[in-house]
Amino acid sequence: MIIKATRLTVAAALLGASTFGAFADGFTPENPECIAPANPGGGWDFTCRQVGKTLQDLGLLDKTMQVVNLAGGGGGVAYAEVVNKRADDNDLIVAASSATATRLAQGAYPGNTMDQVRWLASIGADYGVIAVAKDSDIADLPALLEMIKTDPRSVSVAGGSAVGGWDHLKVLIAANAYGIDDVRTVKYIAFDGGGEAVTQLLAGSVQAFTGDISEAKGFVDSGDIRVLAVLSPERLGGEFADFPTAKEQGVDAIGANWRGFYAPGEMSDEAYDAWVSKIADLYATPEWKEIMANNGMAPLDLQGAAFETFVSESVAQIQAISKDIGIIK
């Protein structure tokens, strides 16, 4: 049932599409800012910095977007900051992903719900990966999962989301698909962002890493880590073609992490419409399509109300998965 629910999530992510419409005139951010709810180097940081730079490069923003890293609580610190202190900030957007929906689904942002913010748009979907340090003796994904099955205490897996978060769920889904009945035996260690998790992997503090391909790519390029498996239905193209899928190794596990943005709940309609339109215009450009291809991102084109509906459905689906694996009751 876990894998079925996950496939539903992936199908919704990859098949959904919407367009917002004409550019919303009348609002221009004075001091555009993007909060990345983790330390530098992870997927949220990538989302803010890459989108901010490309918006400016294409002339969709006439000022540099300030990126602020606000780590803690698997995104909860940033969420609380926006809800409680910056609810009417028209210049602010916040990077979000399946990890955000996961924490909301599990009630991990105390006192906060998804309807306290405004959901702007998606910029693509990012497949999950499971990786090891380049010099690791672990040859492939089944070898790692067999180690966990035989002696759970011998393997620690690091991720950039909190316990029960999306990075955690990905390795649990793979473990379940391999035949590990009690996935709660998997030893997962949470860090504030994928960059910090990879740092601990390279230091030898943990044996494996679970994250997304966009945040792993730089460490693969530098020769620091080796991808055991991509959690995609089939191999990705281009420079990612050499990465084997979990499925081709006999582990039928799929996990796609959508990436996008939310805004303060009391942002004006004028500002909201303008931000949605800017992100929609960005998504439609050849330049963004190239960035997606270069970073292993799959299509996911949702804006405004369509994106809000998608997030709501994702939260409901993740609640079902979390109950299946015992994360929540």
Q: Do domains 2-126+257-324 and 127-249 have the same CATH topology?
A: yes
pLDDT at 215: 81
Residue 183 has pLDDT above 90, yes or no: no
Q: Which range (4-8, 180-184, 192-196, 285-289) has the least confidence? A: 4-8
Between CA 35 and CA 278 the distance in angstroms is 17
How crowded is residue 304: how many other Cβ atoms within 10 Å of its Cβ? Answer: 22
Listed by start position, the domains of the chain span 2-126+257-324, 127-249
pTM of the model as a whole:
0.75
Residue 22 has pLDDT above 70, yes or no: no
CB hemisphere CA count around 124 (13 angstroms): 25
Token representation of residue 151 = 């002696």
pLDDT tens for each residue of 308-324: 999 998 898 788 778 87
pLDDT at 23: 40
Give the CA distances from residue 130 to residues 39, 186, 190, 256, in Å, rounded to whole numbers and listed in that order: 20, 14, 15, 13
Token representation of residue 316 = 């409901």
Between CA 220 and CA 226 the distance in angstroms is 6
3-state secondary structure of 120: strand
Q: Are 106 and 327 in contact (CB under 8 A)?
A: yes
Q: Are 325 and 176 in contact (CB under 8 A)?
A: yes
pLDDT at 323: 84
318 — phi, psi (to 5°)?
-70, -35
Between CA 43 and CA 129 the distance in angstroms is 12
pLDDT at 175: 93
Between CA 5 and CA 246 the distance in angstroms is 17
Nearest-Å Rg of the Cα atoms of the chain is 19
Between CA 36 and CA 28 the distance in angstroms is 21
Question: What contacts 61, CB < 8 A, 6 or more positions away?
Answer: 29, 32, 52, 55, 278
- Arithmetic mean of pLDDT over the chain: 89
Cα of 220 vs its chain's centroid, Å:
18
Residue 78 has pLDDT above 60, yes or no: yes
- CA torsion, points 112, 29, 48, 309, in degrees to nearest 10? 50
CATH number of 127-249: 3.40.190.10
CATH number of 2-126+257-324: 3.40.190.150
pLDDT at 254: 86
pLDDT at 25: 55
- Cross-strand pairs, 188: 157
- Kindly state the average pLDDT of the residues 59-83: 96
Between CA 210 and CA 160 the distance in angstroms is 8
Helix residue spans in 86-165 (DSSP H): 98-105, 141-150
pLDDT tens for each residue of 104-120: 999 999 999 999 999 99
pLDDT at 318: 85
Residue recorded with tokens 């035996």: 185
CA angle 299, 303, 308 (to 5 degrees): 105
46 — phi, psi (to 5°)?
-60, -45
Between CA 244 and CA 256 the distance in angstroms is 15
